């Protein structure tokens, strides 16, 4: 039997008497949630309390990633401060009773970590010229440690509310990008305010914070002054835009995020959006996107006529250039690392060692060359442990309430981004897929004629019956011809 969170005011309310439900107490360490998630029909007060706390918990860690993505662990300039902070955030959520440990993913994580440790002696003895870094090994599995968590309240309405918080966070980041670009257009030259305010030992190194949108331009790619790179900022806004569409936020939030993406002029967020749209068009949710086609067409025409649009279009056709960002992320790493890997059969079997791929790329002399996820896994740990690591990571993308978000992030993190040990890039996978699996209801994209968020809105307004199709409803009121209009509001 689920437990009820104590609330200020009356401890029970009778729906038949029409008395208002008591206001739920906030879930804190002093008043943590105990037991399983409550049934919203049996315990509506407790269900609402856990729902709000869960959505704020997810939105809070996304805001944390936005604000602190440039900070390093004090004294370790190469380690992001988000790595320990997200782990501590998970522990805090367990203590509050908002999240719990998923046993299946915990077993997979332990198996992958154990197998990766067991191949190290074979690397040192059998592999020619191994490169073993204990720090790289620890970083990989600490970054993926939060994947063992899952939300207690994994209802669709709770997930949609969390998506709204993610969309609002992305809109705030987009506003910073718009302000930054506006200041440069007004004649104020770009300066790295973070580097001027904080000592260098507190900021991450090895990232290209920003650069001009074109050669010789005075306009720099917007990162809102707090972004680690324009590409990472673009990823966060791309995730926010998809979350905004799925949760049905207001059009001005969508417009603000689009403006931020244009100011960032990076293709990483655009890639996430395009893949997400391709997935959505395979589901009934495509009916919701049709209304935005004219607006999107007008925006595209306007943007193409600006230097920002020219820069973005250049990203689309740059794959053939070996020095382009697309090639350095998704094409050249494979052609460069493949001969390095297959020349030693023992390296193919057991790997060259944790951190070896980054070490070889750093000494390649190719500026900007990155290490995609598949290369890092199999080059460093070989086929033996690499398959288990890949299965563990891929399992984090399975079973969430959305189909478009994990698919687009999988495409980005496995093909275009070094998304294995960079917490700010991996975190959106947890927030939009891993922590919400296994789901209880069909995926969001399977809704028909209205947003998934509309059902929660109508339910809170007392106008929605669980067995009624969404097609008979519209936001703001009932259709006059609906049969449910005669029965009065649902209590």
pLDDT of residue 20: 63
C-alpha dihedral (90, 93, 98, 99), degrees to nearest 10: 20
Beta bridge partners of 212: 220
* CA 40 to chain CA centroid, nearest Å: 28
pLDDT of residue 325: 65
H helices present in 40-155, as ranges: 44-68, 82-96, 103-126, 134-143
- The pairing of beta strand 99-101 with beta strand 23-24: unpaired
pLDDT of residue 482: 41
146: tokens are 């939060």
Contacts of 162 (CB under 8 A, 6+ apart): 54, 55, 58, 59, 431
pLDDT of residue 463: 42
pLDDT of residue 207: 85
- Whole-number Å distance between alpha carbons of 484 and 197: 60
C-alpha dihedral (311, 317, 322, 326), degrees to nearest 10: 70
pLDDT of residue 11: 40
349: tokens are 């079997």
* CA 267 to chain CA centroid, nearest Å: 16
| Share in percent of the chain as helix, strand, coil (round to 5) | 60, 5, 35
Cβ 127 vs Cβ 381: under 8 Å: no
1: tokens are 């039997």
Task: Give the DSSP letter string of 189-231.
Answer: PP--HHHHHS-GGGB--SS----BSSTT-SPBPP-TTT-S-HH
pLDDT, one tens digit for every residue, the chain (491 residues):
344 444 333 344 444 455 665 666 788 887 888 888 888 888 888 889 999 999 999 999 999 999 999 999 887 777 899 999 999 999 999 999 999 999 999 999 999 999 999 999 999 999 888 888 898 899 999 999 999 999 999 999 999 999 999 999 999 999 999 999 999 999 999 999 999 999 988 999 888 898 888 777 888 999 999 999 998 999 999 999 999 988 888 888 999 999 999 899 888 888 899 999 999 988 888 877 777 777 777 777 766 666 666 666 665 555 445 555 667 766 788 888 888 888 889 999 999 999 888 888 877 777 667 788 888 899 999 998 999 999 999 999 999 999 999 999 999 888 877 778 889 999 999 999 999 999 888 888 887 544 544 444 434 444 434 444 434 434 333 344 444 433 443 33
Cβ atoms within 10 Å, residue 479: 12
Contacts of 92 (CB under 8 A, 6+ apart): 29
- Whole-number Å distance between alpha carbons of 62 and 205: 22
């Amino acid at each position: 039997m689920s437990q009820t969170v104590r609330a200020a005011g009356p401890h029970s309310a009778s729906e038949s008497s029409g008395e208002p439900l008591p206001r739920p107490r906030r879930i804190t360490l002093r008043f943590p949630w105990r037991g399983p998630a409550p049934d919203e029909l049996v315990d509506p007060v407790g269900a609402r309390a856990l729902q709000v706390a869960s959505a704020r918990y997810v939105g809070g860690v996304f805001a944390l990633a936005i604000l602190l993505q440039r900070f390093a662990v004090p004294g370790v300039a190469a380690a992001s401060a988000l790595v320990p902070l997200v782990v501590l955030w998970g522990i805090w959520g367990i203590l509050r009773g908002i999240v719990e440990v998923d046993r299946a993913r915990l077993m997979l994580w332990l198996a992958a970590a154990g197998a990766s440790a067991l191949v190290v002696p074979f690397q040192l003895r059998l592999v020619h010229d191994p490169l073993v870094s204990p720090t790289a090994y620890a970083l990989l599995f600490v970054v993926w440690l939060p994947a063992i968590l899952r939300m207690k309240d994994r209802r669709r309405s709770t997930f949609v509310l969390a998506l709204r918080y993610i969309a609002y966070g992305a809109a705030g980041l987009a506003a910073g990008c718009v302000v930054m670009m506006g200041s440069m257009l007004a004649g104020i030259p770009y300066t790295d305010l973070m580097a001027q305010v904080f000592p260098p030992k507190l900021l991450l190194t090895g990232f290209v914070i920003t650069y001009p949108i074109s050669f010789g331009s005075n306009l720099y790619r917007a990162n809102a002054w707090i972004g680690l790179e324009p590409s990472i900022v673009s990823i966060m806004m791309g995730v926010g835009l998809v979350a905004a569409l799925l949760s049905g936020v207001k059009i001005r939030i969508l417009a603000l995020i689009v403006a931020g993406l244009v100011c960032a002029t990076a293709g990483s967020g655009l890639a996430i959006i395009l893949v997400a749209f391709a997935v959505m068009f395979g589901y009934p949710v495509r009916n919701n996107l049709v209304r935005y086609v004219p607006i999107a067409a007008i925006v595209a025409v306007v943007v193409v006529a600006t230097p920002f649009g020219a820069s973005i279009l250049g990203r689309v056709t740059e794959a053939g250039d070996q020095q382009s960002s697309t090639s350095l992320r998704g094409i050249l790493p494979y052609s460069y690392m493949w001969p390095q890997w297959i020349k030693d059969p023992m390296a193919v079997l057991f790997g060259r060692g944790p951190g070896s791929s980054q070490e070889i790329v750093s000494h390649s002399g190719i500026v900007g060359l990155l290490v995609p996820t598949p290369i890092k896994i199999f080059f460093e740990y070989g086929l033996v442990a690499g398959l288990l690591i890949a299965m563990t990571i891929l399992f984090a993308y399975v079973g969430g309430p959305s189909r478009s978000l994990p698919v687009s992030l999988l495409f980005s993190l496995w093909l275009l981004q070094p998304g294995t040990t960079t917490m700010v890039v991996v975190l959106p996978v947890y927030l939009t897929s891993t922590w919400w699996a296994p789901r209880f209801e069909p995926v969001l994209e399977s809704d028909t004629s209205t947003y998934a968020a509309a059902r929660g809105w109508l339910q809170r307004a007392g106008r929605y019956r669980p067995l009624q199709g969404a097609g008979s409803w519209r936001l703001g009121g009932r259709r006059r011809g609906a049969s449910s209009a005669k029965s009065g509001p649902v209590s």
